[in-house]
Amino acid sequence: MSRGARRAGAGRGTAAVRLLVTLSLLPGVVEAQVTGVLDDCLCDVDSIDKFNTFKIFPKMKKLQERDYFRYYKVNLKRPCPFWAEDGHCSIKDCHVEPCPESKIPVGIKAGSSNKYLKEANNTKELEDCEQANKLGAINSTLSNQSKEAFIDWARYDDSQDHFCELDDERSPTAQYVDLLLNPERYTGYKGPSAWRVWNSIYEENCFKPRSVYRPLNPLAPSRGEDDGESFYTWLEGLCLEKRVFYKLISGLHASINLHLCANYLLEETWGKPSWGPNIKEFKRRFDPVETKGEGPRRLKNLYFLYLIELRALSKVAPYFERSIVDLYTGNVEDDADTKTLLLDIFQDTKSFPMHFDEKSMFAGDKKGAKSLKEEFRLHFKNISRIMDCVGCDKCRLWGKLQTQGLGTALKILFSEKEIQKLPENSPSKGFQLTRQEIVALLNAFGRCHCI
C-alpha cells in the first residue's frame, strides 16, 4: 500500500478509508513482503499502488456515492440450495435495512415503463418493455427500430454467458438496498456456519487436487500438518486457468477479511456500537509470522483480483461509450454527470500499461479449451449459489454483490468478440449487462480498489 494512498484516505468516514487507516498501522514487515511482481502476469504491486492512488481511488469513491450505483436490488431470502440452513443470524448488526420505496429514484424503480422508456407507452409491447426497463441502463428516447431491438434484448437468454446465478428482480422477496447505509463490516457472524460456507467454496470448487489433504480455507478450525507458505507448491502443478480461479477466490476472501478488520465491532456501550480497525484481527489473518508466510500471499491475491476487474472495466468501455446507454435514474443532469464520471474512469483503466492478458487463458486445443472454460464457469456459478447459504444478511449482501461483480468481470473478459460487434445506436443481442450486473461490477471493484 503506497503512503500516498494512506494520505488520500485521511479524514474520510467510509469503510474504504478505515481500511486504508488499518493498512497504515501495519507492521513494516507485512508491507515489505507485499511487493514485487505478481505471479502469472507482468504487473508489480508498486505500479498498481501508484495507479490506484492517483487515478482510480478518488473517482471510484465519487462514483459509488451516485444514486445509480448506491441502490442494489438483491434477494436475501433465497433458500440455500445445498444444505439445510442453520437459521439466520440473530445478531442485530447482521440485519440489512431495506430501502423504503419512497427513497428509490424514480428511474431505478421497477414498474411503469414510462419511467425508463418514455416512448414505450406507444407500443403494444408493454409487458416486454416492463421486463426490459429493469435494466435501467438504456436511453429514454429510442427509435422504433431500437425499441424492437430492445425488446428482443430483454427476451434474450444469455444464461450460457453468465458466471453467476442472478437474482430474479421480479421476485416479491427481492428488495432494494442502499449500499451506503449498509456498509460491509464485521458483525459477529462466525463459527461453524461461516466456516461451512468457505469450506464448500475452497474444497469443492477451487480445483483442489486429491493429493492435497490440508484444508484450503485459511481459517479452517483444523488444518492438520500446517507447513505455511511452502504448502502452496501444489498450485504450481495446476494449469494457468485453475491457478487464476484459486487466486481470484483467495483475493475475494482477502478483500472481505480486510474490510471486516477495517470496520470491526470494537465495543458496545449503552446500545451504541463502536466500529474501527482491529489490528490484532488483521495480524491473525495476514501477518507473515502468525500465518507462517501465507498472509502476504493472500494480500497479493487481492492485487491479482484488482488486476482482473481493472482489465474487465477497460474491455467493457465500448459498451458504455455508445450514445444509447444512459445510467438512468430519472434525474437527467445527475445521470449525465454520472456517465461522464464513469467514462472518465474507463479512460483511466485503458491507460494502465500492465494489464492481465486474458487471451493466455483457454488457449489450448479448441475442444479442450471449451470444456475447461465451461468447467471454470460452472465452478464459479456454483460459488455464487453458495452465497445464498450465508446466515448473516449483511454478509450475504456483500458476498452476493462481490461474487456477482467478479462474475460480471469474467463474463466481460470472455465476451470480447461480442463487445467488438456492438451496434452504436441499438441494443445488442450478443452482449448485454443488466443494471444489477453493472452496479455489482463497479461496487465489487470499489471493494478492492482501496487496497
The pLDDT, as a whole number, for residue 355 is 95
- Quote the strand ranges of 186-302, DSSP E: 264-269, 272-276
Tell me the C-alpha to C-alpha distance, in Å, between residue 110 and each of 133, 174, 239, 251: 7, 11, 44, 34
Annotated ligand binding at 250? The verdict is: yes
User: Shortest CA distance to 175 belongs to which of 448, 400, 365, 427?
Assistant: 400
The pLDDT, as a whole number, for residue 449 is 55
Exposed, middle or buried: residue 433 (CB in 10 Å: 0-12, 13-18, 19+)?
A: buried
The tens digit of pLDDT for each residue in 228-245 reads 777 888 898 899 999 999
User: Shortest CA distance to 54 belongs to which of 8, 23, 106, 96?
Assistant: 8
The pLDDT, as a whole number, for residue 329 is 93
Assigned C-alpha cell, 44: 508489480
Q: Is 25 helix (H, G, I), strand (E, B) or coil?
A: coil
Annotated ligand binding at 198? The verdict is: yes
The Cα–Cα gap between 256 and 191 comes to 16
Helix (H) or strand (E) holding 174: strand 174-178
Q: Is 395 among the residues known to form the active site?
A: yes
From the candidates 43, 392, 448, 450, which is the catalytic residue?
392
Strand-pair partners of 75: 174
The tens digit of pLDDT for each residue in 403-435 reads 999 999 999 999 988 998 898 887 777 888 999
Exposed, middle or buried: residue 237 (CB in 10 Å: 0-12, 13-18, 19+)?
A: exposed
Annotated ligand binding at 285? The verdict is: yes
Annotated ligand binding at 193? The verdict is: no
| Helices 435-448, 294-321: inter-axial angle, 10-degree rounding | 140
Q: In sequence order, what are the residues at sequence separation of 6 or more whose Cβ sits closer than 8 angstroms to the Cβ of residue 157?
A: none
Q: Is 72 helix (H, G, I), strand (E, B) or coil?
A: strand
Tell me if 129 sits within 8 A of 118, measured CB to CB.
Answer: no
Which parts of the chain sit beneath pLDDT 50?
1-22, 25, 111-143, 147-158, 451
DSSP label at residue 14? S
Query: What is Dmax (Cα atoms) for the chain?
Result: 69
The Cα–Cα gap between 135 and 108 comes to 9
DSSP label at residue 349? H
Q: Is 119 helix (H, G, I), strand (E, B) or coil?
A: coil
Tell me the C-alpha to C-alpha distance, in Å, between residue 58 and each of 64, 208, 304: 10, 38, 21
From the candidates 164, 395, 448, 450, which is the catalytic residue?
395
Instruction: Tell me the residue length of the chain.
Output: 451
The Cα–Cα gap between 62 and 71 comes to 14
The pLDDT, as a whole number, for residue 220 is 74
DSSP label at residue 387? G
CA-based Rg of the chain, rounded to a whole angstrom?
22
